[in-house]
Structures are given as structure tokens and as C-alpha cells.
Amino acid sequence: MAVPLGTTGPDSAARVRWRLAEVAAVVDETPRVRSLFLTVPGWPGHRAGQHLDLRLTAEDGYRAQRSYSIASPPEDPRIALAVERIEDGEVSPYLAGEVRVGDKLELRGPIGGYFVWNAAAGGPLLLVAGGSGVAPLMAMLRHRAAARSDVPTTLLYSSRSFEEILFREELDRLAAADPSLRVVHALTRSQPEGWAGQRRRIDAEMLEEAAGLPLPEALAFVCGPTRLVENVAIDLLTLGYKAHRVKTERFGPSGS
Amino acid sequence: MTKDDADRRLDGNAAGGLLAEVFRVEMTTVETACAGCGARAPVGELLRYGHEMGAILRCATCDTAVIRVARTRDRHWLDLRGARVLRLDGTPL
Amino acid sequence: MSEGFVSRAFRGRRRNPELEGRLPPGQYATPDFPVLSAGPTPRTPLDRWDFSLMGEVDGARRWSWQEFGALPSETVTRDIHCVTKWSKFDTTWRGVSVDTLLAGVETAADHVVAFCDGGYTTNLPLEDVTDGKAWIAYEYEGEALAPEHGGPARLLVPHLYFWKSAKWVRGLELVSEDRPGFWETLGYHNYGDPFQEQRYQGD
């Protein structure tokens, strides 16, 4: 075993250091998901797809730490997180319930250079999301729009019900304004009357229908509950995606 | 592979913060070679287990623990016996 | 930079001051049974499962699943304490006492290393698994022990932090020289007494 030491970036220590962010706005996106908009003094900037670590400290010193994907694009000065409220959770009920504008939150980052995309990386791009796993993919779509990229892009997004689709109106707007972007929703538990979208869990057939067979340079990003991510990753390889062009981000158990 | 397993596995990406505390570089893009089977993969593609006690990053091909890292109070513990090699490109964080 | 920072109105896990005495320091009581795994859940078919005693013994011993099930069993109710700070009261287990397995064994060893499917190991003083202090448990709350909780069988040593109660255990190696296991080599305490709060090396 050999471990050559890498060179350290100029401000790398700063990214490992905990810093205080301020909650600038709170938006209820769906019955279970709340967006937090944070201003972070000294934020070194991030790339679409990266996450940050957030920690909470109680009066008695008890600490709890979680990772959250960043939903805002690099172009946005505020950092947006989409927090899904888990009923018996420890951190998410606080972030999605108790926290209000003006509160301070300790965080560090950005973290992750693997699950990232920028307009220069090209495509075609296939984004596959389950539930709140759409957050880092939303950062990519927002960046893509801000960069005026016309990389052919499909978002295939699985939600339990119409009400639980995150960022639905924004996604509608983005797709309506951009012929090179396609957004396909799958609703797995309940569908509104007259629903024209998909009505089942994402499978190989749906992936092929949504995105077609992959070109050699096709890139796929998959984010959501671990089981969805693993099933989709296998389906994509079967469809002909190259393993190193399929990036995954597992969120853990659905509803944890 | 059980449903319970799938639920408890995350990507190596999720250990990026903990690893950066040790290495001070962005680690999720660092390439590893598994000492068990030789498979090469960026840290971000390893499978993360262990959660609150530490990060156990296993090879997606053969389950070898490629990297084990834990933080205990103000110390870090790092076991790289499962990594034949790490290639750090010095990607600034 | 943010030393001393407190998150407004964050309480974290509820403390249970009324349980002082029964609850080790720094722990909170939970009705849940969280699952913590250092790797994928092994799936060993019962017809290929066995339990071994090896190392410094006068002769290695091995029980098939069927033979193991025929050994005298005990049902015990104990509190368990995980180093990640949850404790669970009054958990009921059925299994074979380690005393039963060691009956008649001649050994000069004073440590054991539990070894498991999946490669996990943990080390304990021999005297901490004898005299009615440890079991190889195969039932939890009257049901076959679920794979996620260590089934078909796990070591149960309830007076130490629960990482010592190795899941998917397949045997004990008796050794005269202590050999730190999976978490003990990664900064966790070599002994792990929850009431002394021996979480990490140096505690």
C-alpha cells in the first residue's frame, strides 16, 4: 500500500471548517419538504451536485450531523437545501419545522467532486430522481438554465403523489421554455384524475421510453432512495450506458 | 441482497466530509484499487456502511473494506489495508 | 470559529434523567431497535452454518445448526447499550450460554475473539463471556433472530457496548494474547463498559 500525499488546495482547510450560515428564507415546497435558503459568509462556491454537512448542537453539547445535497445552482449567492421531514427523525423535524428566518446553522462544504455536472461536461444528460433525491439534480437543471446550455436533457422523476412532486412548477416552467429539456413524472402511489404521466415505479422500459437508447457520450445521474438508485443503475447498464458515465447518489432508506 | 441491506448502503460520496478532515483534499474523486480484487473505483463509487460509528467504504465488486475511517472525539483513525493504492490528484477542495 | 455555538431550540435526543442508574452516562432510551452494519448482511444457509470453538483449546469443537439447536438454551431479559448512544431496555433473547459451549474445555487462554460471517471480529476477556455473562442468541422476543439483527445467531454480551455482541457470529477463538477486533482497531475502546462510558480508546 502506498499513499502519495496530494497537494492541498489553497482554501481546502476552509471547506472542512465549520462555518455559521444564516437562514434567509424558508419555503414549504410540499407537505413534507421544506426549502431552506441560507446565506453563508465566506462560502467558497460549489458545483451542481455537491452536498454539505450540517450539524446541530444542543444546550448540553449533544450533536447530530447530517449531509444535505445543495439544490441551488453555483450562480445563486444563496444556498438552498430541500429538507424532507421524517416523523421520528432527529434532525429533519428541527430543520423542516422549528427553524425560522434569522436562525444560525453550522455547516461545512461543499463536499463531493464525483456526483457533479456542469454545462461544459456536456451530455446528452439523463437525470433520474426519486423523492427528495431530486435536490442535487435540480442544482444541475438550474445551472444548465443559468448557463443557457442546450445539452439534450431528460429528467425522469418518481414521486409518490402529485402533491409530493418537489419543484413542480419550476420544472414545468423550465421545460416549457426549453425544447431541449424533457421532464417526465412517474407517480407511484396515487395519480390525480386524468394524469397523463407514468403510473408505476421507474423501470427499464420507462427509462428507454423517456431517454431513448444512449449515445456513447451519454451521462446519467441517479439520486434517491438506495433501492431506486441501485435498480435504475442496473437498468441503465442493461440499456447500454457505460458504467463510468452513470453516477449515483444514494439517499439511504426511503423515508429515513 | 436483501431490502434491509439496500437501505443501509450509501455511496462513498457520503463520507466526503469525514475523509476531508483527514486528507484535506476532496476525496470522493480519488481513485482506489481494491486490495481484495484489484477493482479500481473513485472513493465516491465505493459503498459506505457503518454510519455513526465510522465510515466503512467497501469495494462494490467484492465487498472488501477498502477504507475504514472513524473519528473518536478529537482523533481520526484510518485503516487503508484494503486499498492497494490511492491516487490523489490534489483536487483543491 | 463556531466554538460554543448552540442551535436555538434544538434538544436532540431526549434525555431521561428519571432513568439515572439504569441508563449509562450519555445514553438515551429508545423503544426502537436501530440497525448498524459495517457491511452487507451475510446469508449463510442453515445447512451450511456451524459454530466453532478454536484456538487454544484441547481440541476444536464444532456444532452444526441442528446440533446447536439441541444444546440446552436459556431465555434472558437484559438492557442493551449501543455506543451510538441508544439504549434499549428489557430485550428478551434465547440462546446457548457460552458456559455451555465451554463446558469441559481445557484452555490457558484468557481472551476470546468472536469471528463472524462477513469478516467482522470483536475481542473480549474470557471472563466476560463466562459465568452467565454471554450467550450465542438465536431468538429475539420469541422469534427467530432476523438477519438484520445478526441472525441466524449473534453473540450477546449485554454488559458491554453492543458492538461486542457480534452479529452473524460463527465461532469463538480462544487466545492467550489479546487481539483487537474490527472496531477496536479503529479507535473504539478495547473493553467497552457502558457504565464507565468506555466508548473510545483513552476513555
**Domains of chain C by residue range:** 46-75+93-196
- pLDDT classification of A5: cutoffs 50, 70, 90: very low
B39-79 tens-digit pLDDT: 999 999 999 998 789 999 999 999 999 999 999 988 999 99
Contact B65 C39 (CB under 8 A): yes
pLDDT confidence tier of residue A17, bands split at 50, 70 and 90: confident
Quote the pLDDT of residue A9. 41
Residues of A (7-46) whose Cβ lies below 8 Å from C? 17-20
pLDDT at residue A22 greater than cutoff 70? yes
Q: Lowest mean pLDDT of A63-77, A241-255, B14-28, C51-65, name the range.
A: A241-255
The residue that leads in pLDDT, A1 or A146, is A146
Q: Is the pLDDT of residue B1 over 50?
A: no
- The number of distinct structural domains making up chain B is 1
Q: Does A60 touch chain C (CB under 8 A)?
A: yes
Q: Is A98 helix (H, G, I), strand (E, B) or coil?
A: helix
Residue of C nearest to B58 (CA): C39
Asked if residue B73 belongs to a domain, the reply is yes
pLDDT per position as a tens digit, A115-155: 999 999 998 999 999 999 999 999 999 999 999 999 999 99
Assigned domain for B92 exists:
no
The answer to whether residue B63 sits within a structural domain is yes
Which residues of chain A neighbour C13 with C-beta distances below 8 Å? 62, 90
What are A88-119's pLDDT values in tens digits?
A: 788 999 999 999 999 999 999 999 988 999 99
Q: Which string of b and e fits C92-120 if b means at least 16 CB within 10 Å?
A: ebbbbbbeebbeeeebebebbbbbbbbeb
Task: Summarize the confidence of residues C171-178 as an average pLDDT.
Answer: 98
Confidence at B88, pLDDT banded by 50, 70, 90: confident
Please report, as a single letter, which amino acid is at residue B40: R
B2 or C166: whose pLDDT is higher? C166
Domain membership of residue B93 (yes or no) is: no
Within 10 A of C155 (CB to CB), how many other CB atoms are there?
25
* Interchain pair C6, A17: CB under 8 A: no
Give dist(CA A202, CA A208) in Å, integer: 10
Inter-chain touch B84–A1, beta carbons under 8 Å: yes
Q: Per-residue pLDDT tens for A24-64? A: 999 999 999 999 999 999 999 999 999 999 999 999 888 89
The string of pLDDT tens digits covering residues C10-53 is 988 766 777 878 999 989 999 889 888 899 999 899 999 999 99
For the entire predicted model, the pTM comes to 0.89
**Structural domains for chain A:** 14-111 (2.40.30.10), 119-250 (3.40.50.80)
In sign, the C-alpha dihedral spanning C37, C38, C40, C45 is: negative
Q: How confident is the model at residue A1 (pLDDT cuts 50, 70, 90)?
A: very low
Decide if pLDDT at A14 tops 70: no
Residue C1: band (very low, low, confident or very high) from pLDDT cuts 50, 70, 90: very low
Helix (H) or strand (E) holding B42: strand B40-42
Tell me whether residue B17 is in a domain: yes
CB–CB of A10 and B43 under 8 A?
no
Cα→Cα distances B78→A134, A190, C118, Å: 33, 47, 20
Strand ranges of the sheet holding A19-28, from the earlier edge strand across to the other edge: A63-69, A51-57, A104-111, A19-28, A33-39, A79-84
Mean pLDDT of A190-217: 92
Chain C partners within 8 Å of B8 (Cβ): 35, 37
Residue B24's domain spans which residues?
3-84
Cβ count near B4 (within 10 Å): 17
pLDDT at C11: 86
B73 near A CB under 8 A: no
**CATH number of C46-75+93-196, picked from 3.40.50.2000, 3.90.420.10, 3.20.20.70, 3.20.20.190:** 3.90.420.10
Judge whether C162 and C137 are in contact, CB under 8 Å.
no
Domain-embedded: residue B55: yes
Q: Which has more pLDDT, A214 or C2? A: A214
Mean pLDDT of chain C: 94
